[in-house]
Structure 1
Amino acid sequence: MGLLSRHAAARKGLGLSKTPLLAALAIVEFIGPCRFSHWDAFGLPVAKPVPLPTVQIGATALDQTDQTMEMIRGMLSESPAEKEYGLDIGKAIIQFKSGKPGTIRPKATAGRTSEGNRPSFCLMDECHHWVGSNGGPDFFQTLKRNIEKTTSAGSRWVSTTNAYNPNEDSVAQQIHESEMVRQGYWLYDCIEGDIEAGELRDEEKVKAALVEAYGDATWADIPGLTRTILFDRTTPDSTYLRFFFNAIAESSDGWMSKSEWEACQDDDDPIMPGDQIALGFDGSIRGDSTGICGVRLRDGKLFVLHLQENPRDPRQPDWEVDVLAVEAAVQKAFSIYRVEWMYCDPPYWQEAIGRWSIEHNDRGQDYVYEFWTNKPTRMVQAIERFRTAVTVQDLSHDGDENLTRHVLNAVTREVPQGLLITKDSPRSKRKIDLAVCAVLAFEARADAIADGRLKTRRRRVVGF
């Protein structure tokens, strides 16, 4: 199978010399005989250099390629290869002084500017950092497409990573979970230390698992790492598991684990027109997302009715939410389903919410209410009720990808009243607005049921 594999991934712990390995591979691909030429008289393979060696070092930002480029420059500088091959070792690009075609150069996430390149070899380092918020998955697909165009000529890629956080849907995760890896078409090199989070206080188990994870890396300070893990409580256990034991683990500040959320998915009994539902609305104008989630009253099944996200496209610097589309979504929800309660976060939308409240008032019965998410006491309680419902599977969802993404993007922030959910940083592109909508919808459902509306059968007066 190895002869069929032109693509490979290495998932290794911190300090296992992944970058020096990539640097050495880049040099071999640039000047060394690394493509099959023919079989010799003894039946052994003979290699030849790449005719047009175009080596790219991919990263989500140019400064992330510095370490690999510095390692390559250090290996080549003042080496016999520098003089023999006539290399021009620049800081940003390595090429031949003679003008012969061929380069080693960094490549960062620039989307369309990378499309159409023809690299002979591509290095992708630290792919656990290649996530949706920095364009990593799209960049990976672009690089992969470029390589696949000339795979028959021997083009190939190699990626390295630490263990990923399964909540982030990084390129490292996508590669690991790919059917190409499962079927053996892509080589995947990984050794994990055999340890669970609850065993990180056991010195013997920690030491044994470190020895297993670091293998023949004799330079690793196993006693020092053991002491750090046993006694340093400033680092989350999930970080130790990922970076030292090479084990996939979720960040400890993540609000919801992927396994918990997926356990609540229910593809049966879909939401139908006429079902009694509650709604949650979280709106923005241009920065964050705007969405509407619904939840069925009788069983707590969540679904998404509307979502608008800022595309973060430089060609659309003045992008704003389509207000008319939001209005249409609200009207459609009330016309298709029997909406019993709707909670709306008011900022930027107070006028619209007030109008919805009037329009959908049925003979003095209110159905649309404000819910200020910036009031921590009430929001903390709603978040806790939602989180508990997930834990005991008292709610379900239809597997909507956007809702799942927003829920798994959310991290917790402690306030005096308890735990709130928030983005991982104020400027993060990893949105959580549908998660907020889901919390509001689930809270609206609880209040609708407490108000007796689950049994309510509204009548429509028809004149003849």
Structure 2
Amino acid sequence: MATEEKQSGNTFQNIAFVMGEWGQDNHPEVYGGIKGIGDYRSATNIYLPGGGECRSSSSGAASKDGGKETFLVPDEVHLYVLPELRGMYATAMRNLGKRKASDPWALLTTTACRLGEQSVWEVLEKQWKRGELGPDWLVYHREAKGRIDINDKARTIRQLLDVYGPAMDPDTGWMDPERVYADMLDPTICPDEQTAARYYLNRSMAGSDAWIALDVVERQTRPREVDPSEPIAVGFDGSLNDDSTVIRGCAMSDGYRFTLGIWERPAGPAGHGWEVPRGEVMARLREVLRERTVSRLYADPHEWRSDVEA
């Protein structure tokens, strides 16, 4: 299974090669079942004795509903970002549950994902890191340790040797770390550090064009207590009646944001004629400045300038 026919064919050709290498003389019932000219190198389907079939597949969830798969190879699942690809994956994986007696299983392959695209691998990687995948899953994942800085050659080469292992063994390996490092620095191959880290250091990262890095956004979803002694920045946005007035805090250490006070016009009839309680707002702002360690204050004080400056 893959995003397009050629990609799925790459995996299928490995299976067809094994089938072909068995030899027509030893296994004519298999080799002779290859569709086409009888050559595994151009095979598109393999039919096994007893009705079994092996074939490559790309997107199209509806066409896979009701299938009887016993072994799946979802390839490059970091690219499963479109609804039809996620649907294909979900449908085929559901089909595995129908064949308990055949001991069905799936082998997923992937490159590190671009965070924020919600690919199949991004979802699975988050579950794996949280320990939520369960005992039926085995994840083999080698990721570069520590910070990523591709301008630090010595550090990056060490990370490459760790991630690639035997593939970069100086005597028996088939990959050259110097060549790979040069590719990481080549802007025509890796336009930014994030791309280099994903493809060569196996580190899932947000793209350089992301407005806010995903890990920063996710950090905001994990509430924490901010001690009054912790340095913070304060933001104030004031209004009189039609809009909300809010005081927000931002921890200087990690950018964690939290609400210190908010005043909103009530919905419906209760909001008619409502005005922001100016005294209450200013009392809260003075309390924040007095009781917390405020490093800086940013204010959009339209119609509140004299109050804030005071």
Tell me the TM-score range normalised by the shorter chain. Answer: 0.5 to 0.7
- Which one has a larger percent strand, Structure 1 or Structure 2? 1
1:177 aligns with 2:129: no
For normalisation by structure 1, the TM-score amounts to 0.44
2:67 corresponds to which of 114, 117, 125: 117
1:297 aligns with 2:245: yes
2:195 maps to a residue whose letter is T
How large is the Cα RMSD of the aligned pairs? 3.6
Q: Is the contact between residue 181 and residue 187 of structure 1 (CA under 8 Å) also seen in structure 2?
A: no
Inter-CA distance 82–339: structure 2 relative to 1 (3 Å threshold) = farther
Q: Is the contact between residue 277 and residue 339 of structure 1 (CA under 8 Å) also seen in structure 2?
A: no
Equivalence for 2:46: 94
1:186 aligns with 2:137: yes
Deviation at residue 167 of structure 1 after TM alignment: 1.1
Q: Distance in 1 between matches of 2:187 and 2:203?
A: 19
Structure with max Cα Rg: 2
Inter-CA distance 300–211: structure 2 relative to 1 (3 Å threshold) = same
Partner of 1:212, secondary structure, is helix
Equivalence for 1:200: 150
1:140 aligns with 2:95: no
1:150 aligns with 2:99: yes
2:200 corresponds to which of 244, 247, 258: 244
Q: Is the contact between residue 181 and residue 188 of structure 1 (CA under 8 Å) also seen in structure 2?
A: no
> Map of 1:34-113 to 2, 5 A cutoff?
58-77=1-20, 79-86=21-28, 87=31, 88-90=33-35, 91-96=43-48, 100-113=50-63
Unmatched runs of 5 consecutive residues or more in structure 1: 1-57, 269-275, 279-295, 302-332, 341-393, 395-445, 456-464
Partner of 1:298, secondary structure, is strand
Q: Is the contact between residue 61 and residue 85 of structure 2 (CA under 8 Å) also seen in structure 1?
A: no
Partner of 2:57, secondary structure, is strand
Runs of 4+ in 1 over 6 A off after TM superposition: none
Deviation at residue 105 of structure 1 after TM alignment: 1.1
Equivalence for 1:215: 165
Inter-CA distance 208–104: structure 2 relative to 1 (3 Å threshold) = same
1:226 aligns with 2:226: no
Q: Is the contact between residue 60 and residue 85 of structure 2 (CA under 8 Å) also seen in structure 1?
A: no
Q: Is the contact between residue 148 and residue 155 of structure 1 (CA under 8 Å) also seen in structure 2?
A: yes
1:259 aligns with 2:215: yes
1:450 aligns with 2:302: yes
Q: Is the contact between residue 114 and residue 143 of structure 1 (CA under 8 Å) also seen in structure 2?
A: yes
Q: Is the contact between residue 213 and residue 245 of structure 1 (CA under 8 Å) also seen in structure 2?
A: yes
Q: Is the contact between residue 62 and residue 106 of structure 1 (CA under 8 Å) also seen in structure 2?
A: yes
Q: Distance in 1 between matches of 2:214 and 2:47?
A: 45
Inter-CA distance 65–266: structure 2 relative to 1 (3 Å threshold) = closer
Q: Distance in 1 between matches of 2:222 and 2:12?
A: 48
Unmatched runs of 5 consecutive residues or more in structure 2: 36-42, 168-172, 225-240, 250-265, 274-296
Q: Is the contact between residue 77 and residue 121 of structure 2 (CA under 8 Å) also seen in structure 1?
A: yes
> Map of 1:3-14 to 2, 5 A cutoff?
none
Q: Distance in 1 between matches of 2:194 and 2:270?
A: 43
Deviation at residue 337 of structure 1 after TM alignment: 8.8
Identity of matched residues, %? 19
1:196 maps to a residue whose letter is R
Inter-CA distance 159–266: structure 2 relative to 1 (3 Å threshold) = closer
Q: Distance in 1 between matches of 2:161 and 2:133?
A: 26
Deviation at residue 216 of structure 1 after TM alignment: 1.2
Q: Is the contact between residue 277 and residue 337 of structure 1 (CA under 8 Å) also seen in structure 2?
A: no
Q: Distance in 2 between matches of 1:108 and 1:168?
A: 20
Partner of 1:200, secondary structure, is coil
Deviation at residue 298 of structure 1 after TM alignment: 1.8
Deviation at residue 182 of structure 1 after TM alignment: 5.0
Partner of 2:197, secondary structure, is helix
Q: Distance in 1 between matches of 2:182 and 2:140?
A: 28
Report the count of equivalent residues.
233
Partner of 2:161, secondary structure, is helix
For normalisation by structure 2, the TM-score amounts to 0.64
Deviation at residue 60 of structure 1 after TM alignment: 3.0
Q: Distance in 1 between matches of 2:272 and 2:9?
A: 56
Q: Distance in 1 between matches of 2:98 and 2:19?
A: 30
Q: Distance in 1 between matches of 2:271 and 2:24?
A: 75
